[in-house]
Structure 1
């Protein structure tokens, strides 16, 4: 049995941040992970450039049964705090749209920074260790396929179920339940949505086409890029709305947001009425999409042949396309898992289980899920930092 002060399960963003902070306090820390490399989700994030935070941490951009739970950690370790570490490490970065911050170079720079900080803090990293059991007999005891470990504090940073090909499992939820903590319903989030075969048959020629769209589900709307795929819809705006969409819900999609297609078509009709209707519509939509939308409308002839009512109906299908996905691509491509360890059982300042002193849950395993755009990484940094101050 190898002894430590703190055992961290998971060498992802939250786990490494927690280990660094605990190690800097002089704690003897060991990080266990079944993967061959640390920070794999960091490495693939942001198209390989890591969208490592967002300048905003507004409450409404984090989903949870208790949306206020995340605020304590987010206010105490802010995006500016993490940016300061990135700057100190000499990592160049840039801001894209909507406050999203990316590395100028490779995402592995962030992984290397965290690994360097762990080494400097005296943290021991043990990769390729499969956790077989976790129990508490005075101390916390973790049995792995390569040996046993004990510690006063145990931090669970095992992530969710998303991207199982990278080794994601539900072990963190099982550990929570074994210690009597509740786990809320989990499901894939920030994930492409899929169509029924009959809908795909008509839309498949659009695969690969992107438009700037507004997508709404109930009272929630997002404005970003939408991508038609061979299975349904993807792109940032779809990933965002997927966290709010549930099976059976209908999406309302504006394929030409910010434009008045009906008014523009009527104006064109008086100036260039002899052009084909799909060519007129192609001023607002990609050509293939415009052609298909005119075909679906059943309209025939040139622009001059269309009545005001006909153009209004066509524009309505552009601005208010109603579609009901049948599902999502699931955990296979989901960027995060929605739901997790119920925050009612955790202390928001320390991430410690209220009923189990010394047991902490951080990062994606907790029922806190951010929007697309760096929010989930900031939650990982903030929750990991918070636990690292006390574990």
Structure 2
């Protein structure tokens, strides 16, 4: 296992509760401390609003940030990684069994676990997603104990630890503890980590997010307070990952990135907006989606009546077939996505996205940057495109 050393002074202390099992390897704590140092900078709760339903949801941003950072590491290593965030386990089975990706069955029994919070075969009330699973062999994607998967294929024991991460103010419920001990196979493989905020012991918490590294004074204000994310990529990237402003500052009613106004761009750093302007220029203009039934096309028309982008149904379905491999959400299930925003982007390589699915579940996903524009378009269109007649005039 790699020997991780937190860079510079840490902002948190990550401690195992003595009444539970210790972490299995000395390298675990430094790795998780780096993630916690970034997550602690996020507000405990951020309100987000869905255009589709008008409903506002409260997101625990510290837990979400921690999971997103780990999920991007998983994705970067093709899920051959010691740490696996929020694995869904089926508690109707003994032992509880992880759900594997439904869209990657062709890859066989060593395929990754699903990140869909509503996996196929789910029995309502019998699914649990611990914050973290640490496995014994990172080359084996199976994240559970010795068991037979949902396809009837047997797997060996690859579970080293089930870990629950508690930030200040979080509590461990009795039902949660019992379920996670069942997944772990006993007390000796269940760890509870407390993240202690060291900043409160020094000086009062500043109103603004602290600067991690010196920035030129000529940089725009939105660029001077950015929080770099500790990402481990097998391929060096020129640009480090940064959390977006909305994920590190207390905001109310954050709009989804595919909003039909510019509100979806609020809270995104200027370089992220510039990147999106190249990939999906329609996001920065007020307007609406218009469907041509006969041509089976969708067109984004801005407030001045100009067509900015056009997708055919065939193009969208082909793009989603690639996207589904990362999220296990089928084409006919896209409408269940209620809200979503970019939380983290690593140059032009991978993007971390936070979703609210079916109005009750949170989901964090890592998506290759080249698929982000298609992802946003698919969700925006199936979330409420305007249907037009064939003779609606559009500017070229």
Task: Provide TM-score, normalisation by structure 1.
Answer: 0.22
**Which structure has the greater CA radius of gyration?**
1
Which structure features the higher share of helix residues? Answer: 1
Task: Provide TM-score, normalisation by structure 2.
Answer: 0.22
